[in-house]
Structure 1
């Protein structure tokens, strides 16, 4: 039986890597957020897809969790001397994905086709599906005005106060082939929502027509892994964003955000579960090492199996 994971970038990639250590790769399907995708210097960049590709192929920067290990920056350094935009770091090796992706998209290949080919060439055996082949762009209404996701996240380092989040193009988008089919398959053992940012990484997925409906209709249990540990986010702007949106930084708030979509919630052992009204399982959810990632993946699967 297969496992489906809805995921963003770094945190979700850790969980998926853990799953690959305990399940055959062909039993794992990752449905990946593309609301972060954007065009930069004429190139189509897909940060979350690339983070998963780098992580599962052993090419990820072990310290950062994103980008390539041993990356070089000749292109970026030359770009600066010419007065080009250097706020988004494109490494020399990283450029190969963006150049090839952009070239293939210009001739009509879909993002799903391109991603599958990249995964094949790098020996990534899981099924990697972008949430949609259509462009969906996460935008944020902030005290500094309306900002595209990467302008907020990278250029301004998440400093502006967020008032509202929108997903431009989502209503017109269609889920990529295989996305809803994987969720609804009778062969699906469980559906995991990775410990990615609920608002910036998972909500874009749910905004694509058909995906949330498929989750609600699925026979497999839907289990979320908490992005909150000890009353705070492990990294990234999740906690800051929750406070700005007037939401308490707690597992209960995340569970309430997902609402009746969930059948269960994997929480960190450091956090209270009294306020949670759905089935829960507590464990150490920090994933610093490969052994940690395996432990969390195993806990999520055992918990989900108990809900079947």
Structure 2
């Protein structure tokens, strides 16, 4: 069994590549829930859905999220009725959230509802939220004001989705807060997957937004530390920049620089092997000095073939 820790578009692509490289039933995807939010009374799990849609062949690969061929009739009506409706929810996507919310209200856990959804969509990879308890990533930072071409003087606290979607991550981040992580528990399925897998892989996801909510929760980090020799991470940085999303700015704001080496430093207590892109090969020596084996290859997943190629290379690492 191989366990992958993931969130976001990079994580979903990598897991899809793995599912096309090895038996999908031998894979477990432990997925971030720090981005989860309530919209119009519905429980939305963006990272779980991004991974699920990718594995089910439903994802809109051009945008990187949502369902392909999506329509927005419901959202347009909400806007017509006068709401800002800044968070985009497509009609098919709404169906997923309606179902999830109903089943949660029926008393099921998020893990149980996720299992029902992936089964209904024909997904063979086991997809697990990292916790059934609420963990929410909050951002404290200075919001950009376009009218004055400046940042707010006072830092404000905002939800992840406000930061990421409403303000298009145009925020100078001062602090990340993983609300609820200190009391959230891991399910037995997550614990067993972490402990029993022959290999644990950290996908090329944003470490601060997708992986750190997991590491802040209960005994997740302790289990990963105990498995360090079997843990490999794939860099989300290519050529000194994030492939997608705000990681570059976050690393610069909170850790001084955006680089593969900066990510390696974050992961160094937990991993024995780090896979970086050929465009960052000048950082091999610095990463190796952290006590990590550094592997160089082309990690840019621009099509399905390259997703599979990267997955096969990472799976073949000893």
Unaligned runs of 5+ in 2: 144-155
Task: Give, in angstroms, the shift of residue 177 of structure 1.
Answer: 2.8
State how 1:174-185 maps to structure 2 within 5 Å: 174-185=185-196
When structure 1 is superposed on structure 2, of 64-73 and 211-220 the one drifting more is 211-220
Is the CA contact 1:6–1:194 (under 8 Å) kept in the aligned structure 2?
A: yes
The residue number in structure 2 matching 1:237 is 246
For 2:170 and 2:260, how far apart are their aligned partners in 1?
24
Task: Give, in angstroms, the shift of residue 213 of structure 1.
Answer: 0.9
The residue number in structure 2 matching 1:94 is 93
The residue number in structure 2 matching 1:203 is 212
Task: Give, in angstroms, the shift of residue 218 of structure 1.
Answer: 2.4
For 2:87 and 2:188, how far apart are their aligned partners in 1?
30
The residue number in structure 1 matching 2:295 is 281
For 1:181 and 1:134, how far apart are their aligned partners in 2?
18
For 2:24 and 2:90, how far apart are their aligned partners in 1?
29
The residue number in structure 2 matching 1:6 is 5
For 2:188 and 2:159, how far apart are their aligned partners in 1?
27
Is the CA contact 2:255–2:262 (under 8 Å) kept in the aligned structure 1?
A: no
Structure 2 length normalisation: TM-score? Answer: 0.93
For 1:234 and 1:80, how far apart are their aligned partners in 2?
32
- Whether 1:296 and 2:310 are equivalent positions in the alignment is yes
Task: Give, in angstroms, the shift of residue 252 of structure 1.
Answer: 1.0
- For this pair of structures, how many residues does the alignment match? 301
Pairwise CA RMSD: 1.0
What are the superposed Cα offsets for residues 123-171 of structure 1, whole Å, 9 maximum, x if unpaired?
A: 1001100000011010011014001100000000000110010110111
Q: Secondary structure at the match of 1:245?
A: helix
Is the CA contact 1:189–1:220 (under 8 Å) kept in the aligned structure 2?
A: no
For 1:175 and 1:237, how far apart are their aligned partners in 2?
27
Task: Give, in angstroms, the shift of residue 219 of structure 1.
Answer: 7.2
For 2:66 and 2:129, how far apart are their aligned partners in 1?
19
Structure 1 length normalisation: TM-score? Answer: 0.96
Q: Structure 1 residues 157 and 219, CA, compared in 2 at 3 Å: closer, same or farther?
A: closer
Moved over 6 A (4+): none
Is the CA contact 1:139–1:148 (under 8 Å) kept in the aligned structure 2?
A: yes
Q: Secondary structure at the match of 1:105?
A: helix
- Whether 1:172 and 2:186 are equivalent positions in the alignment is no
